[in-house]
Amino acid sequence: MASAPAPGRIRFRRLFLLIPLLLLGVFLGLRFTVPVEALARTVDRGPVLREVRGTGTLESVQEVPLAFKVGGRIRDLPLEEGTSIRQGQILGHLDPADLAAQLSVAEAGRQQAEAGVGRAGAELDQARATAGRARADFQRLQQLFRDGILSRADLDAAQERLRVAEAAAKAMEASGLQARRGVALAQGTESLQRIAFAEGRLLSPVDGLLVRRLREPGDIVPAGTPVLTVVSTRKLWVRAWVDETALGHLRLGQPAQVEFRSQPGHAYPARVDRISRQTDRQTHELLVDVEMLGLPEGFAVGQRADVRIGVSGPGEALRVPAAYVDRAHGACFVNRDGRVHRVAVKVGFAGSDYVEILGGLQPGEQVLRSPQAGKALPPLRRVKAREDA
Domain end point (choices 216, 231, 246): 231
Q: What is the CATH number of the domain that holds 223?
A: 2.40.50.100
Does one domain contain both 189 and 224?
Answer: no
Does one domain contain both 121 and 169?
Answer: yes
Domain end point (choices 312, 336, 368): 312
Instruction: Give the closest residue to 43 by CA, choosing from 345, 329, 314, 311.
Output: 345
Instruction: Give the closest residue to 226 by CA, choosing from 210, 214, 211, 209.
Output: 214
Does one domain contain both 109 and 187?
Answer: yes
Does one domain contain both 205 and 70?
Answer: yes
Does one domain contain both 187 and 111?
Answer: yes
Per-residue pLDDT tens for 282-339? 999 999 999 999 888 888 888 999 999 987 777 788 999 989 999 888 999 999 999 9
Q: Which of 64-68, 117-121, 218-222, 288-292 has the lowest mean pLDDT?
A: 117-121
Does one domain contain both 76 and 221?
Answer: yes
Residues 133, 258: Cα–Cα separation, whole Å: 93
Residues 147, 150: Cα–Cα separation, whole Å: 8
Does one domain contain both 240 and 305?
Answer: yes
Does one domain contain both 326 and 180?
Answer: no
Asked, for residue 194, whether it belongs to a domain, the answer is yes
215 Cβ partners below 8 Å, 6+ apart? 74, 77, 221, 225, 227, 228
Q: Which amino acid is at 303?
A: Q
Asked, for residue 213, whether it belongs to a domain, the answer is yes
Asked, for residue 16, whether it belongs to a domain, the answer is no
Asked, for residue 150, whether it belongs to a domain, the answer is yes
Residues 229, 64: Cα–Cα separation, whole Å: 6
Does one domain contain both 113 and 185?
Answer: yes
Asked, for residue 265, whether it belongs to a domain, the answer is yes
Q: What is the CATH number of the domain that holds 371?
A: 2.40.420.20
Residues 225, 223: Cα–Cα separation, whole Å: 6
Find the domain containing 75 and state its range.
Answer: 63-95+200-231
Instruction: Give the closest residue to 256 by CA, choosing from 303, 311, 305.
Output: 311
Per-residue pLDDT tens for 341-360? 999 999 988 777 888 899 99
Q: Give backbone dihedrals phi and psi of 30, rounded to 5 degrees, phi first.
A: -65, -40
Per-residue pLDDT tens for 226-255? 999 999 988 999 999 998 988 888 889 988
Total of domains in the chain: 4
Look at residue 1 in the predicted model and tell me its pLDDT. 47
Residues 318, 356: Cα–Cα separation, whole Å: 6
Does one domain contain both 136 and 208?
Answer: no
Look at residue 153 in the predicted model and tell me its pLDDT. 82
Cite the DSSP H helix spans in the chain: 7-33, 96-146, 152-198
Pairing between strand 36-42 and 383-387? parallel
The stretch 362-386 carries a mean pLDDT of 90
Look at residue 3 in the predicted model and tell me its pLDDT. 56
Better pLDDT: 123 or 375 = 375
Specify whether the CB–CB gap between 49 and 70 falls below 8 A. Answer: no
Asked, for residue 20, whether it belongs to a domain, the answer is no
Instruction: Give the closest residue to 51 by CA, choosing from 374, 354, 346, 360.
Output: 354
Specify whether the CB–CB gap between 137 and 158 falls below 8 A. Answer: yes
E strand or H helix at 280: none
Residues 93, 102: Cα–Cα separation, whole Å: 16
What are 317's strand-pairing partners? 46
Domain end point (choices 254, 288, 312): 312
Does one domain contain both 192 and 208?
Answer: no
Look at residue 9 in the predicted model and tell me its pLDDT. 59
Residues 167, 162: Cα–Cα separation, whole Å: 8
Look at residue 21 in the predicted model and tell me its pLDDT. 60
Residues 344, 40: Cα–Cα separation, whole Å: 17
Distances (CA, A) of 284 to 58, 160, 344: 21, 90, 37
Q: What is the DSSP letter of 1?
A: -
Does one domain contain both 263 and 328?
Answer: no
pTM: 0.52
Asked, for residue 17, whether it belongs to a domain, the answer is no
Asked, for residue 338, whether it belongs to a domain, the answer is yes
Per-residue pLDDT tens for 109-143? 777 766 766 776 777 677 777 777 878 777 777 77
The stretch 104-112 carries a mean pLDDT of 72
